[in-house]
Amino acid sequence: MRQPLADKIRPTNLDEVIGQEHLVSQNKILRRIIDSGLVNNMIFYGPPGVGKTTVARIIAEKSNKTLYKLNATTASLKDIDDITKNLNTFMASDGVLLYLDEIQNFNKKQQQSLLQYIEDGRITLIASTTENPYHYIYKAIISRSTVFEFKPVSNAEIKKALKRAVKICEEEYKNIKINVTEEAYDHFSASSNGDVRKAINGLELAINSTSPNSNAIIDINQEVAVDSTQNKVINYDVNGDSHYDIISAFQKSIRGSDPDAAIHYLARLIKADDLQIICRRLLVIAAEDVGLAYPMAITIVKSCVDSAMQLGFPEARIPLAEATLLLATSPKSNSAVKAIDLASQDLESKNTGDIPLHLKDAHYSGASALGRGVTYKYPHNYENSYVHQQYLPDEIKDINYYFPGKNKNENIIKEYWEKLKNS
C-alpha cells in the first residue's frame, strides 16, 4: 500500500515538530515532561493537522509502556475490555499507554470505563480531540489529566514542512527535480487554514498530477497549486467550539467598534452558510451593545435582517454587511442590558415586595373597595404629562436600575429627565 506523503514526513522527534513551540521547544512544559520519561495522563486539544497525533507517537516511542491505539469514532466498550484484560499480564508489565484519538466521540459510559485504570496508573491515557475538552470530556477524566492546547500552525512553519516534503519526494524520485514557486508555497500554506496535513496533501496531489518536462523537472506554480487544493475549509462546526468562538469574536469586534474585524468574522459566518445565527446575533447586538445610544439602529438592522432572509445567499451578504458596519460604527451603550439584568438579579436575590395599590388593576367592580387604583395619578392630567408618584414596591422604592450611558442621545434623555423631575 502506498504511503501518503504526510506520513512520510511525519516527525520522529520533538525537534522536527512543526509549530507548537509553546509546548515542545526547549524548557517548555510538554518538552520537560517527555524528556523526564514520567508521562502522565494528557489531553491534546486543537484543530486537525497540527501535530497532536505526531507528538503522541513520539511520547509512546520514548515510553517503555505497551502501546495501544484506539479511535473513539469506531471503538467500543469491547475494545476497551480487550485492553484491560492484558493489564495484569507479562505483556503489560510496565503498564499500558493508551492513545485515544477523537475522545469526544466516546459517550460518558465509555469514558467512565477508563477511570479506575487511569486512577491506579495501570493505564496512562493520551487523548486527542478537536473539540473543547471542557465541553465534551467527562469532568473526572479532565481532573486526572493535563490539557495541552495545540495551535493552528503559521504559514511560515507550514512552508518549512512543504519544502521538507519536496526534498523527500526528490530523494524518492531520484532523477526528477521538483520546482515549486514561492507563490505556490504561499497558496498551499494559506489555503490550509493552519492544517499541515491539508497543505501536504495539496502538494502531493500537485506533484502526482504534474508530468515532468523535457528537463525532468516537475514545475509547480501558483496555477497548479490552486488547481490542486480544494476551497479553503474554515474551522466551523455549528455544534462545536469554533462556532461559539467566531460568534463571540463577531460580537466583540462590533462592540469594540472595529468595522474591519467585524466584517472579517461576518465573512467567516457567511462562509459557513449560517444565515440564521448571523441575523439573530445582529439583532442582539443592536439592543445589547448599541442600545439607546442609537435607538434607530435596531429598526435598520431588522430591515437588513428581513432583506437577508428574503434574499438568501449569496445576495444576503450585502444587507448583512450593511447592518454589521452600521453597528460597528455606531455609538455604543449597554444601559438597557445592564438595567434588565440588575432588575432580574433583584428578583432572584431580594424580597421585592408587592405592587403598590394605586398601580394595581382597577378595571372591575369592587376594585375601589380593595383600594386598587384609588390614589393613582394619571400623568397626562398634569403639566408635561408628568407627576411624581411611587411606582416601585415599598421594599425597593429608592433603587435605580437605569443609568444613562455617556453618549449624545442618552445625555439628551438625562437632561430632559432631570429637568422634568425638578420642574
Look at residue 283 and tell me if it is in a domain.
yes
Q: Read off the C-alpha cell for 349.
A: 436575590
- HSE of 325 in the Cβ direction (CA atoms, 13 Å)? 9
Same domain, 159 and 215: yes
Look at residue 274 and tell me if it is in a domain.
yes
- pLDDT at res. 393: 93
Q: DSSP 3-state assignment of 28? A: coil
Same domain, 159 and 137: no
In contact, 153 and 54? CB cutoff 8 Å: no
Q: Read off the C-alpha cell for 326.
A: 452600521
Other residues' Cβ atoms within 10 Å of the Cβ of residue 244: 12
- pLDDT at res. 381: 94
Same domain, 219 and 250: no
Q: DSSP 3-state assignment of 177? A: strand
DSSP bridge partners of 147: 43
Look at residue 208 and tell me if it is in a domain.
yes
Same domain, 28 and 121: yes
Look at residue 79 and tell me if it is in a domain.
yes
Average pLDDT over the chain reads 87
Q: Which of 212, 157, 167 is nearest to 188 (CA)?
A: 157
Residue-wise over 367-406: b if at least 16 C-beta within 10 A, else e?
Answer: eeeeebeeeeeeeeeeeeeeeeeeebeeeeeeeebbebbe
Could you read off the pLDDT of 209-230 as tens digits, one per residue? 888 888 889 999 988 988 888 6
Q: Is the dihedral of CA 166, 172, 173, 177 positive or negative?
A: positive
Q: Read off the C-alpha cell for 274.
A: 449560517
Same domain, 375 and 271: no
Same domain, 143 and 160: no
Look at residue 198 and tell me if it is in a domain.
yes
CATH number of the CATH domain containing 192: 1.10.8.60
Q: What is the mean pLDDT of residues 242-259?
A: 91
Give the end of a domain, one of 274, 293, 328.
Answer: 328
Q: Where does the pLDDT of residue 234 fall: very low under 50, low under 70, confident under 90, or very high at 90 and above?
A: low
Look at residue 233 and tell me if it is in a domain.
no
How many domains in the chain? Answer: 4
Residue predicted with more confidence, 291 or 83: 291
CATH number of the CATH domain containing 130: 3.40.50.300
- Most confident of the following: 11-15, 33-37, 158-162, 329-333: 329-333
Could you read off the pLDDT of 339-352 as tens digits, one per residue? 999 999 999 898 88
Could you read off the pLDDT of 61-112 as tens digits, one per residue? 777 777 888 888 888 888 888 888 777 654 445 678 888 988 988 888 888 8
Same domain, 304 and 410: no
Q: What Å distances lie between residue 16 and 49, 54, 157, 162, 199, CA to CA?
A: 15, 10, 11, 13, 17
Provide the residue range defining the domain that includes 209.
Answer: 155-227
Give the end of a domain, one of 127, 149, 171.
Answer: 149
CATH number of the CATH domain containing 418: 1.10.3710.10
pTM of structure: 0.64
DSSP string, 61-97: HHS-SEEEEEETTT--HHHHHHHHTTTTSGGGTT-EE
Give the end of a domain, one of 149, 164, 182.
Answer: 149
Other residues' Cβ atoms within 10 Å of the Cβ of residue 362: 16
- pLDDT at res. 8: 84
Same domain, 24 and 145: yes
